[in-house]
Amino acid sequence: MAERIIYLDNAATSFPKPEIVHETVRDFYSQNGVNPGRTGCDLAINAEQMIHETRKQFSAFFNRSLIESGKEKDPNRLVFTMNATMSLNLIINGMIGPGDHVVTSMLEHNSVIRPVNHKVREGAEATYVVPDAEGYLDPEDIRKAIKRNTRLVIINHASNVTGVVQDLNSIGAICREEGVPFAVDTAQSAGVLPIDMTECHIDFLSFTGHKGLFGPTGTGGICVADDAEIRGTIYGGTGVRSAVPYHLEEYPYRLEAGTQNLAGIAGLNAGLTWVENKGLNTIYAHEMSLFEILQNGLSDIPGVTLWGTQNLDRRVATLSMTVNHYDASDVGTILDVDYGIQTRTGLHCAPLIHQHLGSVPRGTVRFSVGPFNTVEQIRTAIRAVAEIASDRP
């Protein structure tokens, strides 16, 4: 099946995964799979060691400048979750209560919008900062939105609809000046763009494992800055100090409970290792070179509209388009069935940015390039869209 399709839905999940990830996950339970713990049998200790090494790996990945300056980053503040949605829920639930104010944006995914709206329903307030016509946030608009009761600024680094990338350095600096914790959703950028928590003053970095980090689904996490504070909102077994009646406050337990997705974390380790060996810049350059061909090709087709910025700077390799006289879902269906091209249609769980762009109610066709795509595949996709656009229903 994989050979017959042209997969251009990497914003949903990266596919295929590198072979090392397949091997790691496939072989995991034949060699490991025992519940980790600092005490217990050797296999449990080995499992714990694997998880601890992965915490260190990710802590360093998101804090390069700190590590290179000779300082240490507490790896226990790298907590694992099952996905970015869970990470973002933990952040929002742990920082926002009734009477608190949160600043976010119209570019967010429902994994931010919905928990924020639930907090508003429970008595919090929210400001959704409006981006410009291309989708870029003005950091000063975030400053203007901050109030005395603002407890969190939470922003997505790269849009899953238009691919625009926000200026985390400037936004983080403002949050630090204003004394407001800064959370970043890196679902579309971790493993794609360099992200440094120290340089960008990020307090909580949410990541997913199965997109740019090439891990399995069911993985993700939060990197919590060493000086950041957050309430724990998940309670249960920790494998240590079982007699304590309340959930443990220290990390990683503060934001973790229960048995981890061990094979997933092993796969995530393999995925990040692959990314680091390949090089972020190499992967990004490849994706953007294909993206430029795609964007140029689609923009030349009569009847095709590209939504959001067409800048090649400050973006990831994702774009949204529509074809005149077609519903977006119909274009996606024809691309899939007639050409084997996999895209994602609709509102992409990000309704507010679609409202801002004007692509509601039916949304757009999203193309998202990955490192395993080729020039030939991109040219095929362009031809397919051209044929669809010229064959009006």
Partner 1 sequence: MKIGDKSIDFDKDGFMVNPGLWDEQIARAIAGDEGIEEMTEQHWAIVNFIRNYWLEHDLAPAVRLICSDVGVGVRQIYKLFTSGPARGACRVAGLPKPDGCV
Which positions lie near partner 1, rule CB under 8 A?
327, 329-330, 333-334, 336-338, 344-349, 361-363, 391, 393
* 64-69-74-80 Cα dihedral, nearest 10 degrees: 0
Q: How far is the CB of 338 from partner 1 (least distance, A)?
A: 6
151 vs 344, which CB is nearer to partner 1? 344
Q: Could you tell me whether strands 6-7 and 182-185 are parallel, antiparallel, or unpaired per DSSP bridges? A: unpaired
Amino acid present at 287? E
Q: How far is the CB of 388 from partner 1 (least distance, A)?
A: 9
- Token look-up 């200790």 returns 45
25 vs 389, which CB is nearer to partner 1? 389
Q: How far is the CB of 7 from partner 1 (least distance, A)?
A: 15
Residue 130: name the closest of 150, 108, 148 by CA.
Answer: 108
214 vs 367, which CB is nearer to partner 1? 367
226 vs 330, which CB is nearer to partner 1? 330
Q: How far is the CB of 349 from partner 1 (least distance, A)?
A: 8
Q: How far is the CB of 389 from partner 1 (least distance, A)?
A: 13
Q: Are 268 and 262 in contact (CB under 8 A)?
A: no
Residue 70, classified by CB atoms within 10 Å of its CB into exposed (0-12), middle (13-18) or buried (19+), is exposed
- Token look-up 């869970």 returns 86
149 vs 329, which CB is nearer to partner 1? 329
Give the gyration radius of the chain's Cα atoms: 21
Q: How far is the CB of 55 from partner 1 (least distance, A)?
A: 33
CA-CA distances (angstroms) from residue 201 to 167, 208, 230, 368?
Answer: 12, 20, 16, 29
**For the chain, counts of helices (H) and of strands (E):** 12, 13
257 vs 349, which CB is nearer to partner 1? 349
